[in-house]
């Protein structure tokens, strides 16, 4: 199996292109950079080729990365179907926990303060939620269907 973006075969794993249930194959280097948000422009020269992929998921991910890299010249050249473009634009804002760690879908977080929740329940400080979703509410994440402000959680 090789990386859909750069063609490397180094620890290639499937990577979900949110919010759809479609995957691309990513090598360790591409995956680490995408997850940390620190994109190395040199490494991602590979997107010059990946942008012509026939796979929707690869095109969508490539489009998002090129946008992050400020390569409007290249995104303008890409041909995305209407639904692919909607998908590419559907990525929510980046969210960060109370100490500035970037949050991803599937992260485990700990609540750092006693919180009152609608309905009169409370969440005790120190409660850990597994497999959070970023959701689409600005400044909040979704933990077991409860919206929690990102300033009250810490990635664990």
Among 15, 18, 25, 27, binds Zn ion (CB under 5 A): 27
Q: Is 34 in the site for Zn ion (CB under 5 A)?
A: no
Among 17, 24, 30, 57, binds Zn ion (CB under 5 A): 30
CA distances from 119 to 26, 99, 123, 146 (A): 43, 28, 12, 11
CA distances from 156 to 18, 60, 102, 123, 141 (A): 22, 29, 12, 17, 15
- Least distance (Å) from Zn ion to the CB of residue 61? 11
Q: Which is nearer to Zn ion, 44 or 152 (CB)?
A: 44
139 vs 134: CA distance, rounded Å: 9
Binding segment for Zn ion among 30-38, 48-56, 87-95, 126-134 (CB under 5 A)? Answer: 30-38
Total residues binding Zn ion (CB under 5 A): 6
Q: Is 6 in the site for Zn ion (CB under 5 A)?
A: yes
- Of 100, 103, 93, 50, the closest CA to residue 68 belongs to 93
User: Does residue 153 contact residue 141 with C-beta atoms inside 8 Å?
Assistant: yes
- Least distance (Å) from Zn ion to the CB of residue 31? 8
Q: Is 88 in the site for Zn ion (CB under 5 A)?
A: no
Q: Which is nearer to Zn ion, 32 or 137 (CB)?
A: 32
Q: Is 5 in the site for Zn ion (CB under 5 A)?
A: yes
Q: Is 33 in the site for Zn ion (CB under 5 A)?
A: no
- Least distance (Å) from Zn ion to the CB of residue 121? 44
Buried-state track 36-75, b at ≥16 Cβ within 10 A, e below 16: eeebeeeebebbeebbebebbbbbbbbbbbbeeeebeebb
Using CB under 5 A as the criterion, which residues of the chain lie in contact with Zn ion when the complex forms? 3, 5-6, 8, 27, 30
């Amino acid at each position: 199996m090789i990386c859909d973006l750069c063609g490397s075969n180094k620890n290639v794993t499937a990577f979900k292109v949110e919010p759809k249930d479609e995957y691309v194959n990513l090598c360790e280097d591409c995956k680490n950079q995408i997850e940390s948000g620190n994109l190395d422009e040199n490494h991602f020269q590979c997107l010059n080729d990946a942008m012509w992929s026939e796979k929707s998921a690869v095109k969508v991910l490539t489009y998002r990365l090129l946008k992050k890299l400020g390569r409007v010249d290249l995104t303008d050249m890409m041909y995305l179907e209407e639904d692919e473009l909607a998908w590419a634009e559907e990525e929510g804002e980046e969210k960060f926990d109370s100490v500035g760690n970037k949050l991803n879908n599937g992260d485990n977080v700990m609540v750092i303060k006693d919180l009152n929740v609608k309905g009169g329940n409370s969440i005790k400080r120190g409660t850990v939620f597994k497999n959070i979703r970023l959701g689409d509410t600005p400044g909040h994440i979704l933990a077991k269907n409860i919206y929690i402000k990102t300033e009250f959680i810490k990635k664990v």
